[in-house]
Structure 1
Amino acid sequence: MRSYLDFEKPVAELDAKLDELRTLAASGSDIGDEITRVEERASQALVGLYANLTPWQKTLVARHPQRPHLLDFVGALITEFTPLAGDRKFGEDEAMVGGFGRFRGESICVIGQEKGATTENRLKHNFGMARPEGYRKAARLMEMADRFNIPVLSLVDTAGAYPGIGAEERGQAEAIARSTDVCLQLGVPNVAVITGEGMSGGAIAITTASRVLMLEHAIYSVISPEGAASILWRDAAKAQEAAINMKITAQDLLRFGVIDEIVKEPVGGAHRDPAAVIAATGDAIAHALDDLRNLDRDAIRTQRRQKFLEIGRKLG
């Protein structure tokens, strides 16, 4: 069953009307023309809404519970996927999923946060908020991929790293910094795709890549709008204002040179047609990897380093 965001109320009302009309049509009523008219109105309303989303509305779309998650992308794009577990230091972290498989016939290492689609899975995966062992697992897999000359794909969707006491005691900040450093040192191409939320160091730890892609309605920032509002104004209710000023949308970040490409979503967001957005993402990943295919290890490191140095210069 489709769920609607608050700002989608006009579309929800039209869809409800359509359901009523289709029920009547199924019982024998001749109302085909009326159904067509309402379908057109619903389609136009959806196009109008999504053509002018505010940064806060994009934040809500990026967090939509029916948006495709990591395992949806892996299931559709990666064959022969073999997940690997553990950081070889403390234990397994279910929020960070990683392993090896094949992308369009070529070997690839895949890592990313899984939020879960059901209550049980959300609890299992800790809502996509990884603990230190998750980032140490990511670093371990990236180093393994580098050793065997296998490209790395990161699929990013997290509200941030888990902020619990145990995570801090086990070195959350060091684990994030270490994972970020491993990203920068890789001699193989790494491509990151922000599919929903890319928040804080929890995202940056696996997004420091040769190419950074972002879905059209995803968001990417050093802190959530609610967190920024709490710090700046001591009022989380000002999250909408924070979202506007933080420049967290894909369109702003492409303009600043923080990301390299926007992957277009279906009208109404990725949650309305997951198969289409997953296919488009696969094409964008393939294109990014093709661009990096003929670079040697030193050239890959140099290009990646220069990419991030230029972000600071552009924003300075």
Structure 2
Amino acid sequence: MDPIRIAVVGVGKIARDQHLPAIAGNRAFSLAATVSPHDPGVPEVPHLESLEQLLEDGPAVDAVALCTPPQVRYGLAAMALKRGIHVFLEKPPGATLAEVAALESRADKVGATLFAAWHSRFAAGVAPARAWLAERRIERVEITWREDVRVWHPGQAWIWEPGGLGVFDPGINALSIVTHILPRPFFLKTATLEIPANRAAPIAADMHFCDTGGAAIHMDLDWRQTGPQSWDIIVETDAGTLKLSNGGAVLSLPSGTEHAEDHEYPGLYARFATLIRSGRSDVDVDPLRLVADAFLRGKRATTEAFID
């Protein structure tokens, strides 16, 4: 079977650190091109400045991975789908729920695969955590996602603009895990969003959810943490406490702790290949819907200006 010819659109840190190595390590794909108006691309791979240029004059591709900021992703995805090209959407899948729904409808009409890729769901501890929780009664959940924005997003002005999500850019990773592992749906009750005086998106958020069985879920997001970073999910159940740490890579159960190597992006590309080969899409917007609810229902509190 011929490999899927894929182009990476947007060659920034996430593309270089995760997408390009994952593609190189998966025989189902061949890297046909890279696209960026700012980055020179990689040696011996055709590089173009725009997706339009690629589709008109570049090498033929079967799929694109969109690693651009979410604010511009809809137009790129729609352009690719118009040609029947399969589309991998980095998280979040779009700047709004409505545009993702429009893309899903378009993909269905043209018979192309659309994949909303939540990489944290492929962290080593997530699948066994989901299986263990399926038979448990959830009593309480505590999510702590605190990191240093200057380390992880230096100089990325787009992330502070409307549609860039601010602290929800990492926070949505936690929500992608929790919506996947908990056996019941949950919804927002209250939220406070701390927004720097000179920015349009929050730097911190305190959120309270409730699942349909009445279990309380608390989420603490903060982009101002220095030193050790915190990416932890604690779930108290009738059978003891489960903890996912290091972004889902380490799982602790009452019976012990499991560690495994990172395989998030290799897992994503294996999933994308399977979807393409089977003619299906996977567009789960539950994490993005919860973030949208936070902006809809959350209280705004102005905090000190943030200087990168």
Shorter-chain TM band? 0.3 to 0.5
Structure with higher helix content? 1
